Chains A and B, each alone.
Chain A
Amino acid sequence: MRIEHIRALARFGRPVWVWDKAKFGSRRILDRVRFRAELEEPGAEPSGGCDADVSTRLAYGEIEMTSPLYLGDMSFGALSGIPNIALARTADLTGILTGTGEGGLYEEVRRYRRITVQWASARFGVDIDVLNAGMAVVIKIGQGAKPGIGGHLPGVKVTKPISDTRRIPVGMDAISPAPHHDIYSIEDLGQRIMAIKEATGKPVFVKVGVTNYISYIACGVARMGADGIIMDGQGAGTGAAPAVVRDNVGLPIEVAVPVVDRALRREGLRDGFSVVAAGRVSSAEDAAKLIALGADCVSIGTAALIGMGCIMVHKCHLGFCPAVLTNKIEESPRRLLSLETATRWSVNLVRGWAEELREIMERVGVSTLDSLISRRELLVGEGLDPEDAELLGVGLASEGMDR
């Protein structure tokens, strides 16, 4: 149902529903949190023409976004080229931001403006021109699908074009180091952040997976001068990861966002510092709830791929994607994704998503995105463990509406 919803958004670019109808019966904590406004008006239908302001600013105001969406960092190699270009074009056309992943900056992507470039543990293709190419630099420490484990591009997908971009032998697994070998502490991270800022003058984000000590990590990242943190929760997508790590390591994003938001505020570090929430963000309502829990912006990866035709066969690592999104990059491919169609679909997705967000904000009663951030009192837990509700900072539905 979620998948069909994303496809409908991508196809028509118009809001499909106000409240996420796919959340019922789910085990996910975020799906058991609802807006109080939904309990009052559960059957709301999109009215169209909502004028809530969904624009936001990241990185101490340096990056303006028309809507709080960051298209996740998916590398050239994990995706097959055309989708990378489509995502970058989408960001330019809609005024949001897209990440380019760790696999070096693809020439066709470099010409777009609203991209971030990634500085990951293997440093594939990173030089000063690449660092200067985007609006911001992302230091990738970890990702939600495999916190503590490095990037992995299986050998079958390391073809000649990838070999040229990443400067690695054809056919060999490209496994990035698990840690950055020059970042063994928060002080080391501070030095790298400052070095990148001095070299480029651009904002620096730090991307981490959500783990046990996420609030301390976030405070450290903020204290060391980064402009934002991208937190990637358990269940986030990946091009290839050891199944045992993907299935057992890391915490869900909805647990991390309020905890980190509170910790940053306690330390006086929250103002201007951006919190980007990623991992299983699958609808505008998810986005709105994560923002109300304390994020500034959400990141979508799998949803963006579904918008471009992904049918979720879970075989990205084998290189024969039936939707030609994650297939291996060949010099003379038999089938190619149409760049025009892919771009149209993902632009539609972003616009429809933003419209749905406006619908939700109107029902909730906030007119600007800023006034939705950290508004945990707008949310209520239903079927949620009381201790989880306390951790999230939301009330419980059974406690009545007048809290």
Chain B
Amino acid sequence: MLARAWTDRRIRHLREMAGVAGKSAGEPVIASMGSTAPPNVEEPFFIRDHIVCDGAQVTRPSIDPYREPVSTYVYLPGLGIRLSQPLILTVYPEYPPPVARAFVRAAYNHGLLVYIRGRRLEDYVGGYAERILADISYLGAAGGFWTVSDSLDTHPQILLQPSKASHEYVSSAGFQNVCGVIVDEDAYGSDTPIEVSVSLLDRTLKQRGLRDRVALIASSRHVRGSDDIFKLVGLGADAVSIGDAAVIAADCLEHQLDEDTIYERVENLILAIQKEVKLLAGAAGVSRIFSTLVGNRELFRSIGLRSDLRLMLGVKQAGVG
């Protein structure tokens, strides 16, 4: 089921942004005629496919994303880090070294973070440590990274959690020193769609008064583009991590590409995603992602979602004012 979520339309879109196809690398993809997207035409795969974004009109003017500033910065509260956009690159264990190095460089140069999972670090870190999240058990000689672990016992700075509907750990004593949580939909033990667990965790953190010092990061291999990122941020994430989307965009697993080519394509993708996020934000009348989009569920409506899911997400039904 999940492989089918990468439709040809999605893959082509990503590759046009990365400059692998088409003639406008680093730009939002332009299309024409009516939409064929889910949930009305194509089959919806994820909860986020049932969510539509707002467009601002008259009573609340939209912002012209081509001419007026839309600030995409987000701050990760506990880490004291500013990301140029709500985006984190994840290097999964199976990615070859040139891909990993290209990701690290692109994330560093664009003011993002890169999360290197399940591998030793020495080859990649060169001076980039301050922008690297690393598994606590794979720490090499160099220092300065942000440490990630799935257990509070190891005193990580960032806690890696499977995507679950319950968030009891938020109140546990060891959690007091954690400055961020990565909700990972692919982790062992995940049993809840990422949209639901991000939304619930965001509200749990708010209820416990912790939201302004704990960063919330959504991670899934099935984040397919800027619309998914926009929706997950609106549901409560400070940043969203992508991995496979960038690899697919750069078309770099089947072909043996050198690091610079991959770097260039990932850079194009990062720029295009930022522009698309600006388009979605501008259309919705949002001029600042961090203060107006993060956790702003009122910008969304759902089509064809069960009422219990809507309640958990905090998203209203389409047509309800």
Chain A interface residues (CB < 8 Å from chain B): 27-29, 141-142, 145-150, 152, 154, 175, 177-180, 183-186, 189, 206, 208-209, 211-217, 220-221, 234-252, 255-256, 258-259, 263, 280, 302, 312, 314-317, 326, 385, 387-388, 391
Contacts and interface: CB of A to CB of B under 8 A. Distances in A.
B268 interface: no
The 5 A-B residue pairs with the shortest CB-CB distance in the complex, in nearest-first order? A147-B55, A148-B283, A148-B55, A247-B37, A316-B32
Contacts of B65: 149, 178
Interface in B20-62: 28-35, 37-41, 43, 52-62
Nearest to B230: A248
B320 A391 contact: yes
B321 A148 contact: no
Interface of B: 13, 28-35, 37-41, 43, 52-67, 225-227, 230-231, 276, 279-280, 282-285, 298-299, 301, 303-304, 306-307, 316-321
A171 to B, nearest CB: 14
23 contacts: A29-B303, A141-B57, A148-B57, A148-B62, A178-B64, A179-B64, A208-B58, A212-B301, A213-B54, A217-B59, A235-B35, A235-B40, A238-B31, A241-B30, A243-B31, A244-B225, A244-B279, A245-B280, A248-B52, A248-B231, A252-B40, A252-B303, A316-B33
A251 B33 contact: no
A353 B81 CA distance: 60
A23 to B, nearest CB: 13
B42 to A, nearest CB: 8
Given A240-B32, A302-B34, 16 more contacts: A29-B40, A141-B57, A147-B54, A148-B62, A175-B66, A178-B64, A178-B65, A179-B61, A183-B61, A211-B55, A215-B321, A221-B58, A241-B31, A243-B28, A255-B319, A388-B317
A148 B317 CA distance: 20
Contacts of A326: 32
A341 to B, nearest CB: 22
Interface core residue of B29, B38, B66, B299 (most chain A CB under 10 Å): B66
Contacts of A209: 55, 57
Contacts of A246: 31, 35, 37
A150 to B, nearest CB: 7
Contacts of B32: 237-241, 314-317, 326
A247 B57 contact: no
B52 A149 contact: no
A172 B54 CA distance: 29
Nearest to A238: B32
A250 B52 contact: yes
Contacts of A206: 58
Nearest to B42: A27
B31 A314 contact: yes
A6 to B, nearest CB: 13
B34 A248 contact: no
Contacts of B67: 177
Contacts of A27: 38-41, 43, 304
A255 B319 CA distance: 6
B303 A251 contact: yes
Contacts of A29: 40, 303-304
A28 to B, nearest CB: 5
B62 A178 contact: yes
Nearest to B227: A248
B30 A178 contact: no
Nearest to A143: B55
Given A149-B283, A242-B276, A387-B307, A249 B55 contact: yes
B279 A142 contact: no
B66 A148 contact: no
A147 B34 contact: no
Contact of A154 (B30, B59, B301, B319): B30
B284 A148 contact: yes
B320 A213 contact: no
A211 B64 contact: no
A259 B319 contact: yes
B58 A177 contact: no
Given A148-B284, A250-B55, A252-B318, A240 B30 contact: yes
A286 to B, nearest CB: 13
Contact of B34 (A216, A237, A258): A237
A145 B34 CA distance: 7
A386 to B, nearest CB: 9
Contact of B52 (A186, A244, A251): A251
Interface core residue of B33, B62, B231 (most chain A CB under 10 Å): B33
Contact of A302 (B33, B63, B230): B33
Given A149-B62, A235-B34, A242 B279 contact: yes
Contacts of A152: 30
A149 B70 CA distance: 14
Nearest to A392: B319
A177 B320 CA distance: 28
A241 B41 CA distance: 18
Nearest to B307: A387
Contacts of B40: 27-29, 234-235, 252, 280
A142 B62 CA distance: 10
Contacts of A256: 319
Nearest to A175: B66
B57 A234 contact: no
Given A243-B29, A391-B317, A391-B320, A251 B34 contact: no
Contact of B321 (A183, A213, A234, A317): A213
B280 A249 contact: yes
Contacts of A145: 34-35
Contacts of B320: 391
Contacts of B279: 149, 242, 244-245
A326 B33 CA distance: 11
A29 B299 CA distance: 21
A177 B304 contact: no
A186 B58 CA distance: 6
A234 B317 contact: no
A185 B31 contact: no
Contacts of A212: 54, 298-299, 301, 316, 321
Contacts of A237: 32-34
Contacts of A248: 37, 52-53, 227, 230-231, 280
A142 B58 CA distance: 9
Nearest to A255: B319
